[in-house]
Structure 1
Amino acid sequence: MRARLILEDGTVCVGKAFGAATETLGEVVFNTGLTGYQEVLSDPSYCGQIVTMTYPLIGNYGVNRDDFEAVRPFIHGFVVREHCDTPSNWRNTQTLDELLKAYEIPGISGVDTRMLTRKIRHYGTLRGMITTNDTPAEELIASLKESSLMIDQVSRVSTKSVFSAPGTGDRIVLVDFGSKHGILRELTKRGCDVVVVPYNVTAAEIRRLQPDGILLSNGPGDPKDVPQAIQMISEILGEYPLFGICLGHQLFALASGADTEKLKFGHRGGNHPVKELTTNRTYITSQNHGYAVKEDSIAGTGLEVTHIALNDNTIEGLSNQAKRAFSVQYHPEAAPGPYDSGYLFDQFLEMVAKAKGEKKHA
């Protein structure tokens, strides 16, 4: 079946439909990962987006039950150069096409993804749609220009109720803004007693759980669209050790008095170099975000920049030692090859242990 990817600037890409034969609207972005398409599809941070994979062959190792980062995908559409419908891997349980059909997600193949990526890099992210109908492109482009993208992604992907992953170690409250399973895995393998709470949890509700530390998860969209989370963090900041990841990093910055801005085309992929300023060491990181903390908004907030992106010098890490809080813009729970960034979870738990020791001897 013929499909079209239509962008608000008038670009029309004709290709072959796979996945669900439905029409979808979203922000068109690109991911530079060579592998990991299953993790991309199931990362809640992609809610509301149509993702273009820059690697030309996608689907060649199929889909398995173990590599999901959420219980279901929230992505709005998938764009590839070549879609493989005969995967070969010993863990494969279904094809990419079957996965997309099961969750009613449309895909389009046969698209010049290099051209599309260059366009996004030049003009920035664009509204787009994938459609299999025959409506004239001019009508669809006009509707795209008038359309609004969703702003309630976090409420869509966050847990609706509190649940726990019991452990014998420190009690960590994980605030779920669209958390990847990898974050929970990193905490539980360190023995933590994890309590997962919804994005709109209040400071009072967190206090009642008597945590040893708080972790702010990743999630989709603009951090300023979650004002209740900013308020909660500002109220509780300094009471417990705090670690923020991706959207959690941006919310921590906003709660501290800093500001955020939308990037031209964002960072999405598994090979982004980040420099840790205290050690001058470079880490290869996994990233997925469209917003960043504004450097000129840090002054007077008590925040210190700890990491920067070597591709564009944007802020990748913050710390407030007086408040026992820190954050990173990238994903330390992801392992795109190296496992180097896992030390951040150990650093967080060391901070928790130190805080508990000080409280005991107070």
Structure 2
Amino acid sequence: MYEGKSMPRRAWGGIMNVLFIDNFDSFTYNLVDELKRLGCDIRVYRNNISMRELDKIVTGFRPRLIVISPGPSSPREAGICIPLIRKYKGKVAMLGICLGHQCMIAAFEGIISKTVPVHGKKSEITHQNSAILDGIESPFFAGRYHSLYGAEIPAFFNVTAHVGEIPMAIENNAARMFGLQFHPESILTAEGSRIIQNVIKVVQ
């Protein structure tokens, strides 16, 4: 387990506790470092932690946001991610990125399918009516690294961004749950830091 150090208070309300679920991904600490830079206090646990352990952490740490990371596997191989999403829906705000986004779709009986693999591809993304993409031009360029996608999105979510017919962002503002198929922490996503900052503002 990794615990981020506290950072100076920021203009949008100060330090926010973030629980970060690591799906054994090489991008994990790019995301962790960006969240720390934006003033978050972070605890990182891998997806093989038990739900019992996780419940104790949530009770003690009281996160304002749970981030579910990218990863090399599929939602069914993502450890506690789907049970976590179902249990804390509407109780703690969530951000799922790439695999985390797919886990959100799978948790509400959506369908995940294979697509042509894209790894390190810069794509033009169109968005509309998105709380976490507010102030970002449409279209914008972002980095994609995936071979699976949300083929059928549950009614629980609104699709707010896409590349062609592939959903790139999903949101349920009432439950404060957000999914991004692209990687905001990638160097290929020019507005990535602003997107993460938007998430923090929305869930504060």
Give the aligned partner of residue 20 of structure 2: 174
Q: Compute the TM-score of the two structures, normalised by the length of structure 1.
A: 0.48
| Cα 1:191/1:340, change in 2 over 3 Å | same
Using the alignment, how far apart are the partners of 1:351 and 1:335 within structure 2?
A: 23
Shift of 1:200: 2.8
The structure having more radius of gyration, on CA atoms, is 1
| Cα 1:188/1:227, change in 2 over 3 Å | closer
5+ long unaligned stretches in structure 2: 8-14, 131-136
CA contact (8 A) 2:24 2:46 kept: no
- Structure (1/2) with the larger strand percentage: 2
CA contact (8 A) 1:242 1:348 kept: no
Confirm whether residue 165 of structure 1 aligns to residue 165 of structure 2. no
Using the alignment, how far apart are the partners of 2:99 and 2:56 within structure 1?
A: 21
Confirm whether residue 288 of structure 1 aligns to residue 107 of structure 2. no
Query: Which structure exhibits the higher relative contact order, with contacts defined as CA atoms closer than 8 Å and separated by 6 or more residues?
Result: 2
In the TM superposition, what whole-angstrom CA distance separates every residue of 1:128-147 from its partner, at most 9, and x where no partner exists? xxxxxxxxxxxxxxxxxxxx
Percent identity (aligned): 23
5+ long unaligned stretches in structure 1: 1-161, 354-362
Question: Structure 1 counterpart of 2:37, which letter?
Answer: K
CA contact (8 A) 1:270 1:284 kept: no
Using the alignment, how far apart are the partners of 1:178 and 1:227 within structure 2?
A: 11
Shift of 1:342: 2.2
Q: Compute the TM-score of the two structures, normalised by the length of structure 2.
A: 0.83
Structure 2 counterpart of 1:249, from 90, 94, 101: 101
Confirm whether residue 298 of structure 1 aligns to residue 150 of structure 2. no
In the TM superposition, what whole-angstrom CA distance separates every residue of 1:27-83 from its partner, at most 9, and x where no partner exists? xxxxxxxxxxxxxxxxxxxxxxxxxxxxxxxxxxxxxxxxxxxxxxxxxxxxxxxxx
Count of residues paired in the alignment: 185
CA contact (8 A) 1:171 1:211 kept: yes
Equivalent residue runs for 1:204-223 within 5 Å: 204-208=55-59, 209-223=61-75
* Structure 1 ranges of 4+ moved more than 3 A: none
CA contact (8 A) 1:241 1:348 kept: no
For residue 335 of structure 1, give the secondary structure of its aligned residue in structure 2.
Answer: coil
Give the aligned partner of residue 178 of structure 2: 326
